[in-house]
Structure 1
Amino acid sequence: MFKPLIQFVLQHLMQQNSWTAPLLEPYAHKNVCIDFKVSQTTLTILNNGELAVAGESAQADATIHMPPSLAMRLLRQDPLAHSLIKIDGDAALGMAVGKILSAVRWDIEDDLSKVVGDIAAYQVVQISQEKLQRWQSQAKNLGEMLVEYWQEEQPIIAKKTRVEQFNQSVDQLREDTDRLQQRVDKLLAATLPAESQ
């Protein structure tokens, strides 16, 4: 059902980002499965270096595992998100496709200008970017306020220092227990020979 839409979007993005084709040409006729946990899509690399949706029976040469939460972190350009992507199979192929997919950008202004004209498209994109930045800033502020509230007013979340103190207390208790066990073992060892006489 979604395959024609995915195919259209991929072809459109590859045309807008023509620099990707030469990087994928060495992997022509290879298949890559992108696993989002909730759904999977297998892509094939064509002779010209473009990506297309593979057939139902296509076997993946590499699988890129990305949980849905990771996709959101990638969209926010979180630098740590890339380290959480897992690749099975041909690692070089998976890394090449993953880097290209993360670097591909949709030129919204170009597509919009074909519908409403250049000036209107430019203004719509500028306003949208300003709104998005404002929403991101507000969401970040709200998140920080909630964390502070849950740490100070309604302690649902533990502060980092309290967690570290708890971990140190547990480590100290474990060491004390080990020392006590050694003393008990020594006392038992000392009393057993005395009883046998």
Structure 2
Amino acid sequence: MSALLPIINHLIQQNPQHQRNLAEFTGKTVSFSIAGFRIQGRIGEDGFLEAAQGMADTEIIFHNSTIQKLLQNQQPGVGDIRIDGDLFLGMALLPIFSGLRYDAHADLNRLFGENAGALIAEKADAVRQTVKQIGQSIAEQIGEFSREPESPVPDAATLEAWIEEVDRLRDDVARLNARLDRLERDIWL
């Protein structure tokens, strides 16, 4: 999938040491398979990936368990990744590619300038932290609920009915807030 090569090359560009390390493998072709996507590229003299066809020298296959572990902030193990083809090449490239890190702050500074970029990054980090805390809280509550011996496990219909009721309550609160806003405007006019 050559449409992803520019994204990978952008990551490589943001990590100059990894770019230099990749340049040592000029001419080698690598293929990645992850979550149903296959990305293949030939490593150029500058360390960037170029579109390539045919057999790859090495193929690094990430099993679904890799994604699950990464989403849970766990380190994937040996059984989560398979290397086909040139095993030594795959083992040499795997730490280079897995070490690529995205620097959103650099892109924000480039697009909006340093001050605006810093402000956007700060706000985005605050939102990320809030969402993370909410997710952890929900996970903890579900975990506590499921450990209670008398806690029933709801079926799909019960859960759907509960979700519909929450949606109805949310809509009712929104309508009530709109009425209160109108009433407040009418009082002050």
TM over 0.5: yes
The verdict on how the C-alpha distance between 1:15 and 1:149 changes in structure 2, with shifts beyond 3 A counting, is: same
**Counterpart in the other structure of 2:47:** 49
**Relative to 1, partners in 2 of residues 1:122 and 1:73: Cα closer, same or farther, differing over 3 Å?**
farther
Residues in 2 aligned to 1:95 and 1:130: alpha-carbon distance in whole angstroms = 37
Cα distance in 1 for partners of 2:51, 2:39 equals 7
Match of 2:24, SS?
Answer: helix
- Relative to the length of structure 2, the TM-score reads 0.68
Aligned to 2:38: 40
Which residue of the other structure, out of 76, 94, 100, is the alignment partner of 2:96? Answer: 100
Equivalent position to 1:70, from 62, 66, 71 = 66
- Label 1:112 to 1:19 Cα distance change in 2 as closer, same or farther (>3 A): same
After superposition, the C-alpha distances for 1:26-77 in whole angstroms (9 at most, x for unaligned) are 322111111124121112211232223323xx21222211135523533664
Aligned match of 1:154: 151
Tell me how far 1:138 sits from its aligned partner: 2.1
Partner amino acid for 2:135?
A
- Provide Cα deviations, 1:140-197, integer angstroms capped at 9, x if missing partner: 22122212322324366xxxxxxxxxxxxxxxxxxxxxxxxxxxxxxxxxxxxxxxxx
Q: How far apart are the structure 2 equivalents of 1:45 and 1:37?
A: 22
Kindly indicate whether the alpha-carbon contact (under 8 Å) linking 1:10 and 1:52 is maintained by their aligned counterparts in 2. no
Aligned length: 151
**How does 1:107-122 map onto structure 2 within 5 Å?**
107-122=103-118
Q: Cα RMSD (Å) of the superposition? A: 2.4
Match of 1:167 in 2: none
**For 2:91 and 2:10, how far apart are their aligned partners in 1?**
22
Q: 1:22 aligns with which of 20, 23, 40?
A: 20
Question: Is 2:169 the partner of 1:134?
Answer: no
For the 8 Å contact 1:31–1:60, the answer to whether it is kept is: yes
Could you tell me how far apart the structure 1 residues matched to 2:151 and 2:106 are?
A: 49
Q: Residue 106 of structure 1 aligns to a residue in which SS?
A: coil
The one-letter code of the counterpart of 2:151 is Q
Aligned counterpart in structure 1 of residue 82 of structure 2, from 67, 82, 86: 86
Q: Which runs of 5+ in 2 are unaligned?
A: 154-189
Aligned counterparts, 1:170-181, within 5 A:
none
State the one-letter code of the partner of 2:36.
Answer: V
- Hey, what's the Cα distance between the residues in 2 that align with 1:45 and 1:75? 28
Gaps of 5+ in 1: 157-197
Q: Which amino acid aligns with 1:34?
A: F
1:78 aligned counterpart, secondary structure: coil
Matches of 2:91 and 2:137, distance apart in 1:
35
Amino acid of the residue matched to residue 25 of structure 1? A
